[in-house]
Amino acid sequence: MLLTKVEEKALAGEYGEALEIAYRVLVAIGKISDANRLIPIKWAHVSGVSYLTIGEYGLDFLKKISSTHGTKFRVFTTVNPCGMDIENWDLLDTPADYADRQLKIISCYEKLGIANSFTCVPFQSYKVPRRGTSVAWAESSAAVYANSILGLRTNRESAVSALASALTGKTVYSDLHIPHNRIPTKNIRIKMEKKVGRALAGSVDYGILGYFAGKNVPGVIGFQGQKLDLRITEAKALCAAIGTTGSSGMFVPNSKEKLETIDFTGKEYEDVFSDLSQSGEGEAIVFGCPQMTIEELYELSRMLGEKHFSKKCLVFCSSKIYDMARTRGYAQVIEGAGATFVRDACADFTPMISALNVDSVETDSCKGAHYMRKVHGVKISLKNTERIIEENTN
């Protein structure tokens, strides 16, 4: 790789250990991906925040980086949700020793200089740069969204590579940063209408499509067969599910490329659905994987009106979006219906799901279904938001 003089000095440790480690990470990735240089980024989004995912080893690493004298993030940096509601952790049955470690992780990130929200939908809370801008986003669902919907350029960064980018303000010029790599490598042809008599619609349908597409196409996915005119809820569900099952970092709607094509019919739909949904109903409800957007909270409040949940319902969103929802009156309706907001936390990588002490959970998220089963061993009942409300309110 061609490095500038300053980059070489940083790599040699002249600007301190934290920067040396960060450049070592980027150069190692550059070598593997045949990149010839590093490029500046405008925004880093770092994952690896929940203690449930990074554990003691991750906490020690963050302590080391953040305590190196003068080490700060060099670009605008957002971070993923953590594993608990920072203000209300004790009300939501988060174990005290977990909370203690989680707060230490948060303190390391705060020392390094992060934006003041913990979110996996960072594009909702902060001004998005213009299309074509290079960023370095970890969190697969956000990275797929950045490339496919926002027109930003990012590879699917790991927790460590995004941290290295935040510390240096740079990323490796490879893969999806290069315009000619941003074209489909395989197409998925949607044939739902013919088979089941309706087009895909809603977050569960698009989550199922994404779950299938991510599993079957490791590169850029081209969709054909149904014009994809996605609402934010659908786009978010599609991107999150693509990121759950494979390594793809981008899709192209309405692909014109003549490529190897895989059909997605009613059969594939049913196969994914029955894999993800093992229960007719759940003992508790979880909304917000990825965390809910302001549009989704508006929709939820509109659907609820005067209704009241008949079982425990957790709603995950960032504190910034929660504050916005309170200002607009949506949060009061949702809380009035008996739901509990969980702010700044991940819906899956948190001890709160196990603390619910239930065997089954209802959700509208395919990504949530995948991880809640895996991490907490609960059975999942996958349903659209409307149906969950219809069946669980009075």
Which chain residues interact with ligand F3S by CB under 6 A?
Answer: 80-81, 120, 141, 240, 289-291, 316, 346-349, 367, 371
Which one, 347 or 382, has the nearer CB to ligand F3S? Answer: 347
Which one, 122 or 169, has the nearer CB to ligand F3S? Answer: 122
CA dist 151 and 157 (Å) reads 17
Rounded to the nearest whole angstrom, what is the least distance from the CB of residue 10 to ligand F3S in the complex? Answer: 30
Sign of CA dihedral 288, 292, 295, 298: positive
Question: 3-class DSSP state for residue 12?
Answer: coil
CA dist 103 and 223 (Å) reads 42
Which one, 157 or 268, has the nearer CB to ligand F3S? Answer: 157
Rounded to the nearest whole angstrom, what is the least distance from the CB of residue 138 to ligand F3S in the complex? Answer: 10
Rounded to the nearest whole angstrom, what is the least distance from the CB of residue 2 to ligand F3S in the complex? Answer: 35
**Phi first, then psi: what are they for 187, rounded to 5°?**
-105, 150
Rounded to the nearest whole angstrom, what is the least distance from the CB of residue 172 to ligand F3S in the complex? Answer: 24
CA dist 215 and 255 (Å) reads 18
Rounded to the nearest whole angstrom, what is the least distance from the CB of residue 345 to ligand F3S in the complex? Answer: 8
CA dist 209 and 187 (Å) reads 12
Rounded to the nearest whole angstrom, what is the least distance from the CB of residue 367 to ligand F3S in the complex? Answer: 5
CA dist 361 and 381 (Å) reads 6
- Specify whether the CB–CB gap between 262 and 296 falls below 8 A: no
Pick the closest to residue 213 from 228, 198, 231 (CA basis): 228
Q: How far is CA 96 from CA 63, 99, 248, 383, in A?
A: 20, 5, 38, 33
Pick the closest to residue 41 from 74, 66, 72, 15 (CA basis): 74
Which one, 101 or 170, has the nearer CB to ligand F3S? Answer: 101
Q: How far is CA 57 from CA 51, 52, 226, 265, 379, in A?
A: 10, 11, 46, 44, 30
CA dist 257 and 235 (Å) reads 21
Which one, 21 or 241, has the nearer CB to ligand F3S? Answer: 241
Which one, 22 or 317, has the nearer CB to ligand F3S? Answer: 317
Tokens of residue 305, six digits = 């009106």
| DSSP assigned state of 349 | S
Strand 38-40 with 170-172, pairing? antiparallel
Rounded to the nearest whole angstrom, what is the least distance from the CB of residue 289 to ligand F3S in the complex? Answer: 3
Which one, 78 or 392, has the nearer CB to ligand F3S? Answer: 78
Rounded to the nearest whole angstrom, what is the least distance from the CB of residue 291 to ligand F3S in the complex? Answer: 6
Rounded to the nearest whole angstrom, what is the least distance from the CB of residue 130 to ligand F3S in the complex? Answer: 25
Which one, 76 or 349, has the nearer CB to ligand F3S? Answer: 349
Q: In angstroms, how far is the first alpha carbon of the chain from the final one? A: 63
Residue 387 exposed, middle or buried by CB count within 10 Å (0-12, 13-18, 19+): middle
DSSP-assigned beta bridge partners for residue 381 = 362
Rounded to the nearest whole angstrom, what is the least distance from the CB of residue 194 to ligand F3S in the complex? Answer: 32
Which one, 269 or 371, has the nearer CB to ligand F3S? Answer: 371
Total length of the chain: 394
Which one, 289 or 352, has the nearer CB to ligand F3S? Answer: 289
